[in-house]
Amino acid sequence: MKRIPILLLFIVLLQSCQVSKNKKAGDDKLINTISEQLSYFPEIKDTLDLKSSRRIFPRTLTASGKLHLVGKRDWTSGFYPGVLWYMYQLTGENSWKEKAEYYTSQLESEQFNDSNHDLGFKMMPSYGEGYKLTKNEKYKDVLIQSAKTLITRFNENVGSIRSWDHNTDKWDFPVIIDNLMNLELLFWASKETGDPVFYNIAVTHANTTMKYHFRSDYSSYHVVGYDPETGEVISKNTHQGYADESSWSRGQAWALYGYTMIYRETKDPKYLKQAEHVANYILNIEKLPEDYVPLWDFDLKDFTNEPRDASAAAVMASAFLELSEYSEDNSNTYITTADNILTSLSSNKYFSAKGTNKGFLLAHSTGSKPKDSEVDVPLIYADYYYLEALLRQKKLAN
C-alpha cells in the first residue's frame, strides 16, 4: 500500500487540530440543530390522502424548490425511515421511533419486489435498523424474505447479482458498483437463518466485483456488463461519471464502504486490503478539495464551476470511521479524514440554513450529472449516511 504524501498528511494533521474545536455527534448542540432542521419536513403522512397518493418518501427537491416525494419502489425509499431510526438512536425520543415505525411499515410489500437489486438499500436502513432497536419479529421476517427475493437475481455463470433490468439496449447483464451495498442484507440473513446460501452468494458477488470492476490504481468502473450465458465481460462503463475511464466519486464511496462492510462480515483479510487500497486511492487524489467534499467525479479539475457531491462525502466519512476500527496501520488517518469531512458537512457551507430545504440536512449533493438529474441539491441518502457517520463518530469517541 502506498504511503500518504507528506504534504497531504501535514494538511490532515493540521486540520485535525481544528476539528477538535468543533462540535461532534456527542454534542447536544449539534443534535438539537439536526432535530430542529428535520422537524421542518412536512408531516407527509398527515398532509396526503394515502389512498390516492403512493408517494410518501422524501428524496430531494425539485428545480423549483418543492419537496420531491417518491413511492416505495424507488431505490431511495428506505432512507427516510432510516433517518428517523437514527434520530431515535441519537435522541432516545419516542416521537422519532413512532415516525420510523410508520414509514418502515409502508415498505412491507417490497420484500417481494424482485425487479431490481435495491432491496438492501431499501430494507436495511428501515427494517434493519428497526430490528436492531426493537427486536420486532415481524421486521426479522420481512428482512429474511427480502434476502430470499434478492438472491433470485443471482446468476451463477456471471457470479453476480444482476443490478438493472432497464437499458437492455446497452447491457445484457449489468452489475454496478453500488450493488456491493446490498450484500449486507444477505450477510445478515445468513447469520439469522444459519443458511450459508446467502453468505456464499454475497462472497461470490464481492469476488467477481473485485476482479472486474477495478483499475490498477483501485479506482472503479460504475457498470460492468456481462454475457449472462458465459459470464464473459462485455463492457466497462462509468454511467454516472464524467467518462468511462474517469472515477465517479460516489462510486468510489460505495466501493470503500462495501469492502469495509464485507470484511466486517467475513473477516477475510483480502477484503480489508481491498478497502484500504480504495481508501488509499481516495486519499492520494491530487486535487481532492481542501474541505474533503469531492466534486461529482474525482477526475474533474474545475473546482469553481463543477458541483460537489456531499452524498459521496457522507458515505466516505461513515466508511472511513468503520475502516479505522480494522486497519492497524492507518486508523488515525482514517479517523482524521472522517472528522474533517464531518466538520465540513456540519458547517454553514453544506448544512442547510435553519428552516430551509424543506427539512433536508445537507445541501450540495449530485445524483447524476451526465443526465442533468438532481444536480447540486439535497438528497435523502446524503442525510442518512451523514447521521450514520455521526453515530459512528460518537461510538469511537466513547
Active-site option among 49, 74, 118, 217: 118
Q: What are phi and psi of 338, to 5 degrees?
A: -65, -40
Backbone angles phi, psi at 355, to 5 degrees: 80, 0
- Which residue type sits at 80? Y
Q: Which run of H or E residues covers position 140?
A: helix 137-150
Contact between residue 139 and residue 130 where contact means Cβ atoms under 8 Å apart: yes
Integer Cα distance of 15 and 21 in angstroms: 10
Contacts of 141 (CB under 8 A, 6+ apart): none
Phi, psi of 248 (to 5 degrees): -65, 125
Cell of 98: 413512532
Catalytic residue among 28, 165, 172, 178: 178
What is d(CA 394, CA 382) in angstroms, rounded to the nearest whole number? 18
Q: Catalytic annotation on 178?
A: yes
Measured CA to CA, the distance from residue 215 to residue 130 in angstroms comes to 37
Under 8 Å between Cβ of 151 and 186: yes
Which residues are the active-site residues?
Answer: 118, 178
